[in-house]
Amino acid sequence: MTLKGDQIMQFPQEGLAREEVLRTLEEYRQTDGDWKHGKTWSLVYYAGEEITSLAEEVYRQYFHANGLNPFVFQSLKRIETEVLGMAADLFHGDENVVGTLTSGGSESILMAVKTYRDEARACKPHITQPEAVVPVTVHASFEKAAHYFGIKLVHAPLADDYRVDTAAVEQLITPNTIFLVGSAPQYPHGVIDPIAELSRIALSHNLRLHVDACLGGFTIPFIKELGGKVPAFDFELPGVTSISADLHKYAFAAKGVSALLYRNADIRKYQYFAYGDWPGGLFISPSATGTRPGGAIASAWAALKFIGRKGYLEITQSVLDTTKRLLAGIASIPELAILGEPPAGIFAFGSNQINVHALADHLEHKGWVIDQQVNPACLHFMVTPAHATIADAFVADLRLAVEEVKAAPEQPTPSTALYGLRTALPDPALVNQFIKEAYSRFMTEGGEFSFEGLL
């Protein structure tokens, strides 16, 4: 959308013809990432037309349904309970496990953080400045949640294998600590934190432990079943008190649905919000949103029921096979190195010989959408079934791009400029300020995303 760019928008006077609406949006879509053919490595999880078309049809059936009122939409309530029950079963939950479906991983995490804050207010009222100890690699939505809800996040460093250093976690616990977090796997490098050890620490310090399985919830259990080397991460560990697992990622539901599970309802009650004095009636809402889109919730039920354990095992096997080919290809390029030992389809590679931000730009020129990371500089990949047919083409382009960067190492690219600037800025608060200003400008005026002119 351009508010001040090439076109000042006006509210439409007369409605467009249906065909015109569809045609215009199709035209707009030409600039989007080509996820269907595996050119993107994040954001979209596509497991083929058969699954997608069913999810779309169910979404259409529940297009109007609103999970805000379970008394009116009783089928949605039933669907939500059944989805949570299926997830609890997968995560070794007993009959006490309860949960909520939310709009996504961020909302699940926001709610878990709020729940633990409110529980601590009630049960540990002497704590006035609550803290949580989290790995530095914890998803940014925890930073957002801490910011929203007034929690101090204490960041624990990583061990050499990129998993959180649990000795450091234990040392960072103070009398103000109310919960710990581990990820299964963490987003930046795809490795699973030592959740069993975090569980032990949480129990011995009387702390809550949230496991962020937004990415891994619907893939790690199947990797384990396929004989993969993955550690325990769920309710079978006695210290785990909540788990977030996104249905719109590796469960292949429509965008807008995630499961948040708690060990029991005594914990979940701190998540709920009620307001009985409203002139609009008795208000009760389980999570951050009011209206809850039925389509996304129903599509999650459809995906789990349609794919089933057998289907998820097949999909997971295919993702693992593709990942193995990609990792072997990357390992055969001497300039590149995989970070840690990622067990699933999520990984990152870096280099101590070439600038990977420049490498990313060369890959982008070849039509790939590349996610870039910092501390350390690396490129990030999440493998889905859509990548099975393009893995070899990617490795071939990667090999070429490495040679291109080596041939012109001094030539600055947009990414090296942006990331160079970002690392050169000394004050993190200033960086955040610039990111917000650059984003605001990008969203309203169009053009490139850059810090130019802000310095």
Q: Which residues of this protein are in contact with ligand PLP, per CB under 6 A?
A: 104-106, 109, 139, 141, 183, 187, 212, 214-215, 246, 258
Q: Are 177 and 207 in contact (CB under 8 A)?
A: yes
**Please, what is the minimum distance in Å from the beta carbon of residue 403 to ligand PLP?**
32
**Please, what is the minimum distance in Å from the beta carbon of residue 42 to ligand PLP?**
9
- Residue type at 351 in one-letter notation: S
For residues 82 and 398, give the distance between their C-alpha atoms in angstroms, rounded to a whole number: 44
**Please, what is the minimum distance in Å from the beta carbon of residue 96 to ligand PLP?**
25
For residues 88 and 259, give the distance between their C-alpha atoms in angstroms, rounded to a whole number: 9
Please, which residue, 213 or 370, has the CB nearer to ligand PLP? 213
Angle value at C-alpha 115, between 113 and 116, nearest 5 degrees: 70
**Please, what is the minimum distance in Å from the beta carbon of residue 429 to ligand PLP?**
24
Q: Are 55 and 257 in contact (CB under 8 A)?
A: no
Q: Is the backbone peptide bond immediately before 412 cis, with ω within 30 degrees of 0?
A: no
Buried b (16+ CB within 10 A) or exposed e, 172-190: bbeebbbbbbbbbbbbbbb
Please, which residue, 146 or 401, has the CB nearer to ligand PLP? 146
Please, which residue, 134 or 172, has the CB nearer to ligand PLP? 134
- Residue type at 107 in one-letter notation: E
Buried b (16+ CB within 10 A) or exposed e, 126-147: ebeebbbbbbebbbebbeebbe
**Please, what is the minimum distance in Å from the beta carbon of residue 145 to ligand PLP?**
10
Please, which residue, 105 or 293, has the CB nearer to ligand PLP? 105
The CB density around residue 17, as the number of other CB atoms within 10 Å, is 9
**Please, what is the minimum distance in Å from the beta carbon of residue 287 to ligand PLP?**
13
What lies within 8 Å, CB to CB, of 117 at 6+ separation is 130, 149, 150, 151, 178
Please, which residue, 146 or 395, has the CB nearer to ligand PLP? 146
**Please, what is the minimum distance in Å from the beta carbon of residue 55 to ligand PLP?**
16
Please, which residue, 208 or 255, has the CB nearer to ligand PLP? 255
Please, which residue, 348 or 402, has the CB nearer to ligand PLP? 348
**Please, what is the minimum distance in Å from the beta carbon of residue 301 to ligand PLP?**
18
For residues 433 and 273, give the distance between their C-alpha atoms in angstroms, rounded to a whole number: 32
Please, which residue, 187 or 368, has the CB nearer to ligand PLP? 187
Q: Tell me which residue has its CB nearest to ligand PLP.
A: 105
